[in-house]
Structure 1
Amino acid sequence: MSVGHGFHATMTARPGRGDELVRLLLDAPSLPNTDCVVFLVSRSAASPDVVQVTEGWVSREAHAAFFATEQAQTLVARLQPLLAGESEYADEVPVGGKAAF
């Protein structure tokens, strides 16, 4: 399945809440969604409260449809109190690579 839409987000958790942010993201409802082709959660080695997410979706429409669901809105609401500020987003379309966890 090819990726037609994606982005990279950098989030900064409130001090000491990086682990909680990572756990919440790894339980994200988009993970079992077949339209979500890439969902990678990373964190800064130097600053454990800085967390990055790379997402790749089959289309912009599929991403928008998912984020219009109650499930996704609940996730966003749960994320907000953990964040120290606004997340930064960069346009990115994952094209390949390797992941082994």
Structure 2
Amino acid sequence: MAIDRRAMMGVTAAAAMLPGTALSAEGTEMYGMLGRMKAAPGKREELLALLLESSADMPGCLSYIVAKDATDPDAIWITEAWDSKEHHDASLKLPQVQAAIAKARPLIAGFDSRAETQPVGGIGLGRVPAPKG
């Protein structure tokens, strides 16, 4: 049974409108990560500055938010949204990210929470419309 291109595009467009099916500009499912990092005592501000300065120009990054934990003076939350897991993984190989990791190691006391997510939209992300046929 053959399906014509217009019918297939209609099905694809309808699927993209369903809850939980946000796609990146490349048509892939988005990738997200949430993590809580502990800075060495008294080093949170230095670590925050380092994380923020190294996060520019990361291809495929839709959102990279670094926040202070409101109840722990040494904790930092990082919330990321990417076009794809592949973009996230590739970002870890970027020269500025590699340099930041090397500088950050002595400032990090540990990681205590981490979760991978599949963003489905929201303020700042939006839904990427399906391609028009």
User: Where on the TM-score scale, by shorter chain, does this alignment land: which range?
Assistant: 0.7 to 0.9
Structure 2 Cα separation of the partners of residues 46 and 19 of structure 1: 15
Task: Between 66-75 and 53-62, report the one with greater CA deviation.
Answer: 66-75
So what's the TM-score if we normalise by structure 1?
0.82
Stretches (4+) displaced over 3 A:
none
Equivalent residue for 2:35, pick from 1, 4, 9: 9
Tell me which of the two structures has the higher relative contact order, counting C-alpha pairs closer than 8 angstroms and 6 or more residues apart.
1
Q: Percent identity?
A: 35
Q: What is the RMSD computed on CA atoms of the aligned residues?
A: 1.9
Quote how far apart the aligned CAs of 1:70 are: 2.5
- Secondary structure in 2 matching 1:85: strand
Quote how far apart the aligned CAs of 1:26 are: 1.2
* 1:25-44 pair list within 5 angstroms: 25-28=51-54, 30-44=55-69
So what's the TM-score if we normalise by structure 2?
0.64
Gaps of 5+ in 2: 1-22, 125-133
Q: Which amino acid is the alignment partner of residue 97 of structure 1?
A: I
Equivalent residue for 1:63, pick from 88, 91, 94: 88
Higher CA-based Rg: 2
- Secondary structure in 1 matching 2:109: coil
User: Is the CA contact (8 Å cut-off) linking 1:10 and 1:52 kept in structure 2?
Assistant: yes
Equivalent pairs, count = 97
